[in-house]
Structure 1
Amino acid sequence: MERLQHHWYRLSPLHLVLLPASLLFRALAAVRRFLYRSGIVASVKLPVPVVVVGNISVGGTGKTPLTLWLARQLIDNGWHPGIISRGYTRTARGHKAPQEVSGTDDADDVGDEPLLMAQRALCPVWIGRDRPAAALALLQAHPECDIVLSDDGMQHYRLQRDAEIAVVDGARHFGNGLLLPAGPLREPVSRLRQVDAVVINGGKAGDGEFSMSLHGSLFYNLLNPEIEVAAGEFAGQRLHAIAGIGHPRRFFSHLDQLGLDVQPHAFPDHHRYAASDIAFADADAILMTEKDAVKCATFATERCWVLRVDAQIDPSLTQLILKKVTP
């Protein structure tokens, strides 16, 4: 899959081979969506509202920061949200039953993004391959929860939803516009006409869309999180930066905007780090995202620093979602 990604943002002779598979994928996705939406295949309605945060493309678009932002907005408006997610890597280890995520869990067991959200400690976070089962387990364990946020759940049609938010990467958009495996799309761009809100992360929002940007300028030490420094503290140091996220260039560009001259090291999304990945002998400091940090904590050194970023989104999105979920 990683090799194919180089062809997702252009057209090449390889697409003569990939296009038939892409057309078949598109047809199957459309049939599956029709079966659920027509009621031919049963879906699950929860006793509380459900808001899905997702995208139509593969790779990082900013779903997790948006989910955390929305959880904060709901809390500030008197709601008690809970978050559900699949939990990347869990199926490979044989875990299928719903499970609550603790901030002290191992990323290999629960997934990097669910662990990151749990460490923010805003609300309960549950994971499970079966989204409805995970949501029902969450509600049983936390009866105070009166709304469920489904992180990366747009294509999980078995769970009915009251609102859908689609996140679009403002820099990469939709690549070559083709569906998997010829392009990065899980569903055609026309699918965006059916969602309640389209959020553009890091780009200009069009009419009816909502703008989103990621902000952060303070770094905390991975071994001693209570120690925080501003970007200026790294002036004159030999800096290396790692990013195992969907769009590493976004992180490196953020560091550049902070005035930091770094040696960048991009890794695949959800990369399982080893100590050797950050063994940079000449580094005075190693900078990373929160998503990287949860997987590097067990072998981190005092040179590891983490940039916390938070989403800033058009506040009118909050009012739209509140209107959708309020009886």
Structure 2
Amino acid sequence: MVQQNTRFRHLRLMLTGMLMLVGLGAFSPGMAAQDGVEPETTVVTVNVNLCIDVGCTELPEAVAPADGVRIDFSDDSTADGVGTGVDLGSCVTGELEPGACAIEVPRIESLFVLLDATTVPEGFAVESNPPGLLLDASSGEPLTAPFLLFPVEPEPETTTLTTSILLCVAAGCTELPEAVEPADGIGLEISDTVTGDVLGTCVTGDVAPGDCAIEIPLVDSVDVLIDERTVPEGFMAEPNPGQAMLDPTSGEPQTASFLLLPVEQIPPEEPTVVPTEVLEEVEPTLVPTQAPEDTDQTVSALPDTGTGDGNGSAGLLLTASVLAMAVLGLAAIGVRRVVGRAEV
């Protein structure tokens, strides 16, 4: 009896094993087919964080998730050497979890993930331009696209202008620091050189001895008008207003310095001299008169004048008369020349 039960038990085990083998044979083709099917898509998860502290590229506590940032996906694979650019969809961070979103895309060799810069929180920006990543999605494995947004320093619209007023108290004050002293209580008006718009006023000594400061727009040059009523006695602002050239693109505070000189060191204005015409003095020109060809003629050779005794005295008298007439002629010419010069 025991042998019969043992025989049946062995038979039952054999049947069970055969059924298991048949079952495995029936299911194995399906399992093999399932293992041979490759996925046609892959999942891409995008993380966008804000850099809020030093070391944000390494320390998790130095970043914060950024929600509301739109991410666009496109096929950047090439067809005949040209990118297709097919739109594959988009997602917005914060939909999946803080600072993250995910999308399922086809398995392609070149997936372009673009961050929409218009949706970036104010005061932050992505460093790359364009702000995108290129991924290989051909393996079918899940992918991650991280973005880190850095704070952006706003461009300054104004700058600080510090104006210094110094007094020249010793020789060499244009070069030697010990030859100048700060001047407090000087009223200043600063204006734009180009437009003439008044940018502000200040009084020296407000921020430091001889200095005052105001906030001004970014301009290339300013005119500094000194209130002469506030200038110390014995000094003068020259010229007034003074002009200072600035460098607004440097991003640094601007400075302008002016030196007040003692009044006695400022040369007085010279009177205007009107040139007058200088009359040229002309020396008289002696013009010789025509003398008789023969001054040795005797009285007998001259016409009868009814005088003389026929000797040499008459000849001398005639010669003296001729010389007198010549002198008178020269004098007359000289007078006419002088009169002519007086008329000139």
Name the TM-score, length of structure 2 as normaliser: 0.15
- Kindly indicate which of the two structures has a greater share of residues assigned to strand: 2
Mark the structure with the bigger radius of gyration.
2
- Kindly indicate which of the two structures has a greater share of residues assigned to helix: 1
Name the TM-score, length of structure 1 as normaliser: 0.16
Q: Which has the higher contact order (CA 8 A, sep 6+)?
A: 1
